[in-house]
Amino acid sequence: MMGFALGIASALCWAGLDVVRKALAGKATPTAIAVFLLLGQLPFLGAWAAFDQTWVTDARYWKPAVISMAMNALANVFFMRSLELSPLSRTVPFLSLAPVFAALAGIPLLGELPGAPHAVGILHVVAGALVLNSDLSDSWLRALAHEKGARYMMVVAFLWAASLGFDKQALPHSSPAAHAFLLTTGSGGLLLGWMLVRGKQGELRGVIASRKSLLVVLIALAVAALALQLLALQWLWIAVVETLKRPFELLGSVLFGRVLFAEPITPQKLAALALMSVGTALLALA
């Protein structure tokens, strides 16, 4: 149950992080926010790695780690772009397809073939995403075409799900603390390099000018979410880790979307949350 508890704690942090990122969307470019988010974590993750005193133990670490770095860099930019284009409750829920991507990625990358209980739990969570969007005037696929942010979020779902598989491949060859620090350094460095090449480093001023308390919460939640997720991966399949995030992200998007952005709470959203909660319970019992 330790892994499951860590997975839930990580999911709660990711849910809070989604809300803070939505509050920052539009105040600076997606790339600038992603760079600040990643590089802002480095002092804290670096301190964790130094305290842990376990670094890379095998050269086989680097291939999956570098792939994950690139995927996370791109996913962070696309995530912020998605939140700029569409409401929180219509973008974050599309991440509910990430458990399916994770389950599929886990088979070739890690040999993690979900059994019936896992599959049923994952399907409940995905069904919640379908129900969530049943209040749209169009079908699920047509809704993707009409919600510009949803298209970006679908790509984010795939990138984050697949990157978890590479994270888990890398972890036997380093500690969670070392991987968290190196992963964030690599992803942030790639994005910062891209900004410098294009001469866009001045875009970071928009982030720095944002409310300081918001930035502090942003970094704190990001550090906790990543650290807890990597610790949970030592016990849980990547599909389970991804699935645990979704009910809490949906709950956060619905509640905070209502409080902060005046987005309505509909019967469909409540039904979707119920389905996702059942899916989470099934995974806990699997």
Model confidence pLDDT, tens digit, residues 56-113: 989 999 999 999 999 999 998 898 788 788 776 667 667 777 888 888 899 999 998 8
Contact, 93 vs 258, CB < 8 A?
no
Closest CA relative to residue 251, chosen from 133, 9, 89, 22: 89
Distances (CA, A) of 285 to 118, 198, 240: 9, 50, 12
Domain that holds residue 141: 2-285
Kindly report, residue by residue over 156-209, the tens digit of the pLDDT.
Answer: 989 999 999 999 999 999 999 999 999 999 999 999 998 999 898 898 998 998
Cα 203 → chain centroid? 23
- Report residue 285's pLDDT band, with 50, 70 and 90 as the boundaries: low
**pLDDT at 276 > cutoff 70:** yes
**pLDDT at 37 > cutoff 50:** yes
State residue 137's pLDDT score: 45
Q: State the total domains in the chain.
A: 1
Kindly report, residue by residue over 116-159, the tens digit of the pLDDT.
Answer: 877 888 788 777 766 765 554 445 566 566 677 888 888 998 99
Could you give the CA distance from residue 217 to residue 200 in angstroms, rounded to a whole number? 25
The pTM assigned to this predicted structure is 0.83
